[in-house]
Amino acid sequence: MDIKVNPTRELKAKPEDESNLGFGEIVTDHMFQMDYEAGKGWINPRIVPYGNLSIDPAAMALHYGQEIFEGLKAYRGTDSAIYLFRPEENYKRFNRSATRLCMPEVDVDQVMEATKQLILLDQDWVPTTQGTSLYIRPTMIATEPHLGVRPADEYLLFIIIGPVGAYYKEGLNPVKIYVEDNYVRASIGGTGESKAAGNYASSLLAAEEAKKKGFTQVLWLDAAERKYVEEVGTMNMFFVIDGEVIGAPLTGSILPGITRDSVIRIVKNWGITMSERSLTIDEVIEAARDGRLQEAFGTGTAAVISPVGQITYKGEDHVVAGGKMGELSQRLYDEIVGIQYGEKEDPYGWRIKIN
């Protein structure tokens, strides 16, 4: 793939204080774009100055929600090298999301190449302070102007990148989770396992109401019975009960997280009991009451491991792991972050050096 590069003439000022980057507030100088037209496939791969898009108000993404995205990160190692973590998995998932939403697949090798070229062009934006990284957001939208409902014939793929710090203001401090037993995020047979924009639109109200009550995120239950734990906001969930690590199975309503998969493989590798099985909220609460719920944590690219310090269900607060980060959570965090930043052995072959 020949990517046309049109460098910007005006480089933006980079953030001076990397300790205060926040999440998703800063973008770099350039972005990647590529168009799709039915019959032609993907055309015009290009890296251009970051800037506004111009799309028709009748563009189908704006009306019928054909929009998918991915989220991955580039890490600056202590050796100054830049690493990606299992990036092909993100683009494979992107393609599964695309298929579910009747959007065209991409060539994984091509978009990998585009991602690397974009990062290398803007490599001075990859922050160096511990805990920071460069967030990468590949996105696909339907651009064909058409007001009848059907899959579009024209699409735009773009990749934007920007330096980020911690996802939650809490950092590694445990978060408070509200068990949502009214609203639901996704049902089996729906689009819950796709990284589709619409999933997030439908989850906002519950999250806002929980935030007003002082919670960081909601824990979703299954849509049919409000009985089984599914996931949290933008993270998969794990519970440690009586020494067993339990994560919800991929039944179709849960996003198959790459961090989730990494955690499962590491935990098994460590010889700890790891079960992907349905877990009822009653089982979790009972374990919390009896002091058998040793840890609970969320997993996702943005926060890596996010320990849960409190779970609130039906008006009752349950403190988890004394409100502190649990031992396994900390060990997993250190292991994954160590691999991501090139500080630890990578027996799984997950890390890719790009420069």
Asked if 222 touches ligand PLP (CB under 6 A), the answer is no
Q: Which is nearer to ligand PLP, 236 or 312 (CB)?
A: 236
Using CB under 6 A, which of the segments 134-142, 255-263, 279-287, 308-316 binds ligand PLP? 255-263
Q: Which is nearer to ligand PLP, 15 or 300 (CB)?
A: 300
Say which residues have a Cβ less than 8 Å from residue 101's Cβ, sequence separation at least 6.
66, 68, 191, 194, 196
Asked if 195 touches ligand PLP (CB under 6 A), the answer is yes
Asked if 191 touches ligand PLP (CB under 6 A), the answer is no
What distance in Å separates the CA atoms of residue 64 and residue 43, rounded to the nearest whole number? 24
Q: Which is nearer to ligand PLP, 122 or 231 (CB)?
A: 231
Q: Which residue has the tokens 């949290």?
A: 232
Which residues from 257-276 bind ligand PLP, rule CB under 6 A? 257-260
Asked if 190 touches ligand PLP (CB under 6 A), the answer is no
Which residue in the set 122, 231, 283, 335 belongs to the binding site for ligand PLP (CB under 6 A)? Answer: 231
Rounded to the nearest 5°, which phi and psi values hold at 97?
-60, -45
Q: Nearest approach, Cβ of 79 to ligand PLP (angstroms)? A: 25
Q: Nearest approach, Cβ of 234 to ligand PLP (angstroms)? A: 4
27-66 footprint of ligand PLP as x/- string (CB under 6 A): ----------------------------------------
Q: Which two tokens stand for residue 335?
A: 């292991």
Q: Which is nearer to ligand PLP, 132 or 259 (CB)?
A: 259
Using CB under 6 A, which of the segments 24-32, 132-140, 233-241, 325-333 binds ligand PLP? 233-241
Asked if 86 touches ligand PLP (CB under 6 A), the answer is no
Q: What is the H or E stretch that residue 33 is in?
A: strand 30-37
Q: What is the H or E stretch that residue 247 is in?
A: strand 244-247
Beta strand 244-247 with 274-276 is parallel
- Count the residues of the shown chain that bind ligand PLP, applying the rule CB under 6 A: 14
- DSSP class of residue 329 equals H
Which residue in the set 45, 300, 309, 326 belongs to the binding site for ligand PLP (CB under 6 A)? Answer: 300
Q: Nearest approach, Cβ of 89 to ligand PLP (angstroms)? A: 7
Which residues from 123-182 bind ligand PLP, rule CB under 6 A? none
Q: Are 82 and 122 in contact (CB under 8 A)?
A: no
Q: Which is nearer to ligand PLP, 304 or 325 (CB)?
A: 304
Question: Taking every pair of C-alpha atoms in the chain, what is the biggest distance, in angstroms?
Answer: 63
CA–CA–CA angle 59, 64, 69 (5° rounding)? 85
Q: Are 146 and 125 in contact (CB under 8 A)?
A: no
**Alpha carbon separation from 208 to 22, 229, 233 (Å, rounded):** 19, 20, 11
Asked if 234 touches ligand PLP (CB under 6 A), the answer is yes
What distance in Å separates the CA atoms of residue 57 and residue 344, rounded to the nearest whole number? 49
What is the gyration radius of the CA atoms in the chain, in angstroms?
Answer: 21
What distance in Å separates the CA atoms of residue 43 and residue 352, rounded to the nearest whole number? 27
Residue 339: alpha-carbon gap to chain centroid? 18
Asked if 247 touches ligand PLP (CB under 6 A), the answer is no
Which residue in the set 134, 255, 267, 296 belongs to the binding site for ligand PLP (CB under 6 A)? Answer: 255
Please give the residue ranges that form the binding site for ligand PLP (CB under 6 A): 71, 195, 231, 234-236, 255, 257-260, 299-301
